[in-house]
Amino acid sequence: MSIETPEVRPAEVNEKEKEPAKKPTGPPKSLFREYFESLTVTLVMALFGMTFILQAVTVPTGSMQNTILVGDYLLVNKFIFNPAGDPLPFLPMRDVERGDIIVFKYPGNRLRPERDRNRGSNPPLKAYQINYVKRVIGLPGETVEFRNNRVYINGEPLPENRVIGDAPNGISALETLEFEEKDPNAKWTVYYNKATMDAVRAGRRLPTAGYDFGVEGKQMVVPPNNFFVLGDARDDSEDSRVWGFVPRELVIGRAMFVYWSCDRGASNGDMLGCLTHPRLDRIGKFVK
C-alpha cells in the first residue's frame, strides 16, 4: 500500500511585493523655495570656509611694502596653523615659522595704552577690532635685538636681503634703488630708506625713541606662545618694536596670495575707483 506524497509547489510570489514601495510625493517645490534652499546651503558653506579655512583681508598701510602694497587684497589661510602649536595627525597643519607673513588681531600697546587712545578714531577702536599683517621674526624663547638696521636672533645676525627702497610721496615704488646687502642664505627681502642707511654707513647711532621692545639697549626674550613681528618696510612700520609681542591666540592665519589689487592713490580710496584702477600684475601674486 503506497501513500502518495502531495506535490509541494513553490509558493507563488506576489508580483506586487517585488516592486519597491513608492514613497509618497509631496507637492512640487516652488521656484522660490529652490532658490532659498540653494542660497542657504551656499551661505552655510561660505561661513564655514571663512570661519575655519580662508579669510579675505585688505592692506591699508605701507608697513609691508614692497612685499605687500597698499591696496592689495589678500587671501589668508586660517587652517595652516594649529592653535595649540602641535600639528594634529593626518592634517596639513604646522607651527608658525620664522619668515611667515601672518595676519593677526592687533594686541594693543600694553606698555603705553595712551598711544592706542590717541589713534584718532571716534569712538576709539579696541585692539581686537584691527587686523595687522607682519612678518614673524622672533620665535618663543629666542632673544631678539634690532640695531643699526639689522636684526639679531640669539646674538647672531638674521640673514635678510636688505634693500634701499625709497619712495616718492611716501608711497613705496615697485622698483628698488639698490641692494645694501644681498645674503645668499636669505629667504626674503626687507626695505629701508636711504637716510637711515646713510646714517648707519657713517657710523651714527640710530634713534630709538618710540621703540620700547627689542631695539638696541632693550634686548628682549620672546615669551612662550608669543611672536616678535616686523614690517618689511623697516623704517615705516609700527610693529613689535613699538607695542610688543603677538600672542598665539591672536594669530588668524598666514597670508597666501593677492586676489585683487588696485591703486588707492588713483582711486582716491573709493571702492568703485578701486575697480576701475586695478593693478593686474599683482593679481595672483604669492606673498613670501
What pLDDT, on a 0 to 100 scale, did the predictor assign at position 223?
Answer: 96
CA–CA dist 183, 162 (Å, integer) = 8
For the chain (length 288 residues), average pLDDT per consecutive 10? Answer: 52 52 60 57 49 65 87 88 63 87 91 77 56 95 93 95 68 51 86 87 85 91 96 92 94 90 70 76 90
pLDDT at 19: 55
User: Within a 10 A sphere around the Cβ of 250, how many other Cβ atoms?
Assistant: 20
Q: Distance between CA atoms of 70 and 101, rounded to whole angstroms?
A: 15
**Cα pseudo-dihedral 171, 176, 179, 180, rounded to 10:** -20
C-alpha cell at 66: 614692497
Q: Say how far apart CA 116 and CA 9 lie, in whole Å.
A: 94
Tell me the domains of the chain and their CATH numbers. 57-282 (2.10.109.10)
Q: For position 154, what pLDDT does the model report? A: 96
DSSP letter string, 42-57: HHHHHHHHHHHTEEEE
For position 122, what pLDDT does the model report?
Answer: 46
pLDDT of residue 140: 96
